[in-house]
Amino acid sequence: MTRVDRRRVVALAYDRLATFEFGIVVEVFGLPRPEIKVPWYRFEVCAVDRGPLRATGGVTVRARADLRALRRAGTIVIPGWRDPEERPPEALLTALRAAHARGARLVTICSGVFVLAAAGLLDGRRATTHWRYVEQLRSRHPKVRVEPDVLYVDEGSILTSAGSAAGIDLCLHVVRRDYGAEITNQVARRLVVSPQREGGQSQYVPVPVSTAIAGGLGRALEWAQRRLGEEVSVARWARQAAMSPRTFARRFRAETGTTPHRWLNHQRVLAAQQRLETGSESIDEVAEGVGLRTAATLRLHFRRLLRTTPTAYRSRFSKVSALSGLARGRRLAEKCSGVGSSRRA
């Protein structure tokens, strides 16, 4: 199999385009990022249909490239599909099969999963979509192992997400796979969103997030984040929210879409990623520092969440983090010495 550059991203555009989902892809992969001094994604849009493409909200899109752009793509993103009942054009399905066969990564948002399912690329694989389309996906494509209540599913070379905002989570997950935690945090900060919600988190929660943050549970979450290296039992945690352990666990699930234990372990993995990128601690020291106690436990969670090991993660991303850090340090030094201001002048 020919090695592909997965940082060469091509997004599909089609008539009756899902504007919001398409905008997510452009924002994450296509926006220039001069603040990140490492090679960023090369982004391109290809048209599935001829002529100006109508998009939701009265917007018209013109793409310079056609389906031939998929031949050089390392990552292909399908931001929704206009109608789950409509079979996509055979030329598109053939191009996607060929791209997948040569190693390209395929990413879908919301109803975009129906395109990959129609191509037969999801047979026997786990996948998700917006909760409104779950039963439709199951009935039309029974060979797909549908995960009905998650934000996104990472099957390695094929990744699928639930609707709308879950696409942001999946795109940031892709950035995290490619660039590590520190750079993903910079992208998330510019987007003004959380750096990452775990893919297994429920895509629908009955209580609005703003309500959860404003109440005692929000304060309890902040309390736990400051104590990742400590033993945080549900009973101790529940006291911070002035609740019984049983009520706390029930409210936690209702307001965050996950369990206290799973949320805490996810935060610990995020903290471990940053330590591995920026520090020189041993794997055992990192595990102890984030509350996972042993290197074996840390490796277990890394394999589950990131499909890699702490050692491999450090080897891959510490250099990227160091380059980004050197660039920030250089900009700060120029600012302090007046070099930056003289250049602008």
Residues 75/42, Cβ–Cβ less than 8 Å: no
Average pLDDT for 12-25: 97
First to last CA, the chain: 51
pLDDT value at position 286? 96
**Dist CA 96 CA 93 (whole Å):** 5
**Dist CA 271 CA 225 (whole Å):** 9
The DSSP string of 127-157 is E---GGGHHHHHHH-TTSEE-TT-SEEE-SS
pLDDT value at position 333? 45
123-127, 140-144, 147-151, 287-291: segment of lowest average pLDDT: 147-151
pLDDT of residue 338 exceeding 90: no
**Dist CA 41 CA 184 (whole Å):** 13
Q: Residue 108 in 3-state DSSP?
A: strand
When comparing pLDDT for 191 and 9, which is higher? Answer: 9
Most confident of 101-115, 214-228, 271-285, 313-327: 101-115
Place of tokens 């929210």: 241
pLDDT of residue 200 exceeding 80: no
pLDDT value at position 215? 55
Average pLDDT for 18-24: 96
When comparing pLDDT for 322 and 34, which is higher? Answer: 34
207-211, 308-312, 330-334: segment of lowest average pLDDT: 207-211
69-73, 78-82, 190-194, 201-205: segment of lowest average pLDDT: 201-205
Number of other CB atoms surrounding residue 124 within 10 Å: 8
pLDDT value at position 214? 45
pLDDT of residue 201 exceeding 80: no
Average pLDDT for 227-243: 93
**Dist CA 159 CA 170 (whole Å):** 8
When comparing pLDDT for 319 and 252, which is higher? Answer: 252
Which tens digits make up the pLDDT trace of 24-66?
A: 999 999 999 998 989 999 999 999 999 899 999 999 999 999 9
Q: To the nearest whole number, what is the mean pLDDT of the chain?
A: 87
Of 112, 206, 108, the closest CA to residue 158 belongs to 108
- Number of helices and strands (H, E) in the chain? 15, 10
Of 203, 209, 110, the closest CA to residue 161 belongs to 110
With pLDDT > 90 as the criterion, what percentage of the chain qualifies? 68
pLDDT value at position 161? 96
Confidence of residue 341 (pLDDT cuts 50, 70, 90): very low
Confidence of residue 317 (pLDDT cuts 50, 70, 90): confident
Paired with 60 in beta bridges are: 54
Confidence of residue 322 (pLDDT cuts 50, 70, 90): low
Which tens digits make up the pLDDT trace of 137-185?
A: 999 999 999 999 889 999 999 999 998 889 999 999 999 999 998 899 8
Both tokens assigned to 277:
């990128």
17-21, 74-78, 262-266, 330-334: segment of lowest average pLDDT: 330-334
Which tens digits make up the pLDDT trace of 203-213?
A: 554 444 444 34
Average pLDDT for 225-254: 92
Q: Which CATH superfamily includes the segment(s) 8-186?
A: Class I glutamine amidotransferase (GATase) domain (3.40.50.880)
Average pLDDT for 89-95: 98
Q: What is the domain partition of the chain in residue ranges? A: 8-186, 210-320
Confidence of residue 257 (pLDDT cuts 50, 70, 90): confident
Helix (H) or strand (E) holding 12: strand 8-13
Of 24, 22, 13, 11, the closest CA to residue 62 belongs to 13
**Dist CA 253 CA 326 (whole Å):** 41
Query: What is the dotted CATH code of the domain comprising 210-320?
Result: 1.10.10.60
The DSSP string of 203-256 is S--SS-HHHHHHSHHHHHHHHHHTTTTS---HHHHHHHTTS-HHHHHHHHHHHH
Which amino acid does the sequence have at 131?
Answer: W
Q: Considering the entire predicted model, what is its pTM?
A: 0.76
Residues 29/9, Cβ–Cβ less than 8 Å: yes
